[in-house]
Amino acid sequence: MSLQSSANEPAIELVGIDKKFGAVHANKNINLSVGKGSIHGIIGENGAGKSTLMSILYGFYHADEGEIRIQGKPVTIRDSQAAIAAGIGMVHQHFMLVENFTVLENVMLGAEGGQLLAKGVAGARKELKRLEKDYGLEVDPDAVIEELPVGNQQRVEILKALYRGAEILILDEPTGVLTPAEADHLFRILQVLRDQGKTIILITHKLREIMAITDTVSVMRRGEMVATRKTAETTVAELAELMVGRRVLLRVEKGDANPGPVLLSVKNLTVKDGRGVTMVDDVSFDVRAGEIVGIAGVAGNGQSELLEALAGIRKPVSGEILIDGKPVESADPALLRQLALAHIPEDRHHMGLVLKFEEYENSILGYHHDPRYGRGAMLDLDAVRKSAEEQIEKYDIRPPNPRLKTANFSGGNQQKIVVAREIERDPKMLLIGQPTRGVDIGAIEFIHRRIIEMRDAGKAVLLVSVELDEIRSLSDRILVMFAGKVVGEKSADADEQTLGLMMAGIAA
């Protein structure tokens, strides 16, 4: 099992790592060896134990058994400080940034270099400039994190690890929020780093990335390391099968669209963000019944704000939103729900779900005034739980326990909770943002099928995703957004290069 991942000596070795959480055996006797100066991929479904393994490596958890060796020497990693000292840098899937600090302050945090800040700030600014130049990760050092689009926040996370001079860089689902162009950019950085002798561990669900960038790859399933392969000697199909334990369908099967009348119409819509910057600039388009319109674009080009404006969360500065030809009077999510517009938001952790709620409480979020969940002022908890149980069964949400705290579901199952809630209302229009971000491959297949079913049932679907593959395989028409404008429309069979150029603002 512990196939040496490169001819070089191992930078990091895990020997017999074992970890249990109560009854859950998260890691079973894991052996792994990653060669110095190589990119090693670890894939597996959510809950397969990848994150636990990396948390052990980064000192968040301690293994019950087993040994970690770095450059051949056994080490004990008590906490993240020790991990950093051992030369391990981590880029987390969920950002570990102080939201009201600037980029510079976040990068410096924990490495201020003395009691007085001035010297450290100057040094950090210089270092940041250098990193920016070398790797092309452009971020304004004085921008405040919470005002940056998600894609840029990710860059700060990567800069943070680089700033600390990590020799071994662990990236947990790094491209979840990046566009193909940005992901390619990241991959180029990773390749440069590898060529400089650094070691990279890439955790992902995405087989395409594994194939594109890694030298070697390990597959995890249910806490075990089931296989390690040289990337050049394996195929997407083999890896997918190893991961899920059965054959999976990688492309979405769908028939031709049957577009009906226009249900959702946007006219000259302009939206500004919290800073007063115009994020959506004079955008107009229609979505018809029975079609999926995909919006492609690099994160931060206005798709998020457009989606929020359509859902009534963000008030547009000017322009009109028409539903069934009638203008929507006010920005009010409750009113829009009444007009049969459902919304699967981009950020399920902060918007689509209340993570501290039990599952059944989230199954009515936004629809809690529906008389079927209780008359008058009261909530009928029996009715709520019953409908939650129905959704759990129909959408195969696991574990099937409506009383479980939502935070304790895996990413894929959390997303299914949102999808179930929004689709089960049988809306006429559906807004979908990043439907499969951080979702495992089995659930992706499931969610994609539901979206196609909605289309076939004559719903108007607007899909925003930074996964170009997802946009291309689901959409009937593709709109490309760049710098707040819709720069062009393509049919679903447009090739990736054309779309990529449009997303970069080069071609229209």
Partner 1 sequence: MSTASVPLPAWINYGVIPLLNLILAFFFSGLVVWAIGENPFEALNFLIQGALGRGDAIGFTLFYATSFIFTGLSVAVAFHAGLFNIGSEGQAYVGGLGAALVALSLDHYVPWYVTMPFAIAGAALFGAAWAFIPAWLQAKRGSHIVITTIMFNFIGAALMVYLLVNVFIVPGKMAPETRTFLPGGQLPKLDWLMALFGLKLGPAPFNVSFIIALVMCYLVWLLIWRTKLGYEMRTLGISPTAAVYAGIPYVRTVIIAMLISGGLAGMMSLNAVMGASARLQVEFVAGAGFVGIAVSLMGRSHPVGIILAAILFGILYQGGADLSFEMPNITRDMIVVIQGLVIFFAGALEYMLRPAMVRLYQTARGK
Shortest reach from residue 350's CB to partner 1, in Å? 5
347 binds partner 1, rule: CB under 8 A: yes
**44-83 b/e (C-beta count within 10 Å ≥ 16 → b):** bbbbbbbbbbbbbbbbebebeebebebbeeebebeebeeb
101 binds partner 1, rule: CB under 8 A: no
Considering beta carbons, is residue 246 or 375 the nearer one to partner 1? 375
Contact (Cβ atoms closer than 8 angstroms) between residue 343 and residue 334: no
Residue ranges in 44-83 that form contacts with partner 1 under rule CB under 8 A: 55, 60-61
24 binds partner 1, rule: CB under 8 A: no
Comparing C-alpha atoms, which of 336, 332, 335 is closest to residue 264?
336
Considering beta carbons, is residue 159 or 311 the nearer one to partner 1? 311
Query: How many residues lie near partner 1 (CB under 8 A)?
Result: 41
Shortest reach from residue 484's CB to partner 1, in Å? 22
Q: What is the β-pairing status of strands 291-296 and 477-482? A: parallel
Structure tokens at 129: 């400039």
16 binds partner 1, rule: CB under 8 A: no
Shortest reach from residue 160's CB to partner 1, in Å? 18
Shortest reach from residue 11's CB to partner 1, in Å? 25
Comparing C-alpha atoms, which of 160, 173, 136 is closest to residue 51?
173
Structure tokens at 348: 């399920």
Three-state SS for 32?
A: strand
Three-state SS for 113?
A: coil
129 binds partner 1, rule: CB under 8 A: no
Question: Three-state secondary structure along 99-114?
Answer: CCCEHHHHHHCCCCCC
Structure tokens at 10: 């191992």
108 binds partner 1, rule: CB under 8 A: no
Shortest reach from residue 19's CB to partner 1, in Å? 11
335 binds partner 1, rule: CB under 8 A: yes
Considering beta carbons, is residue 231 or 363 the nearer one to partner 1? 363
408 binds partner 1, rule: CB under 8 A: yes
Residue ranges in 348-377 that form contacts with partner 1 under rule CB under 8 A: 350-357, 361, 364-366, 368-369, 374, 377
Shortest reach from residue 25's CB to partner 1, in Å? 10
Contact (Cβ atoms closer than 8 angstroms) between residue 352 and residue 345: yes
Give just the sign of the alpha carbon dihedral 360, 390, 372, 365.
positive
Structure tokens at 300: 């931060």
Q: What is the β-pairing status of strands 429-433 and 341-344? A: parallel
379 binds partner 1, rule: CB under 8 A: yes
Choose, by CB under 8 A, the member of 174, 312, 442, 488 that binds partner 1. 312
Considering beta carbons, is residue 15 or 379 the nearer one to partner 1? 379
435 binds partner 1, rule: CB under 8 A: no
Q: Which residue has the tokens 């369908």?
A: 249
Distance CA 71, CA 310 (A): 53
313 binds partner 1, rule: CB under 8 A: yes
99 binds partner 1, rule: CB under 8 A: no
Comparing C-alpha atoms, which of 331, 41, 330, 325 is closest to residue 209?
41
- Residues at the interface with partner 1 (CB under 8 A): 20-23, 55, 60-61, 311-313, 332-337, 343, 345, 347, 350-357, 361, 364-366, 368-369, 374, 377-379, 381, 405, 407-408
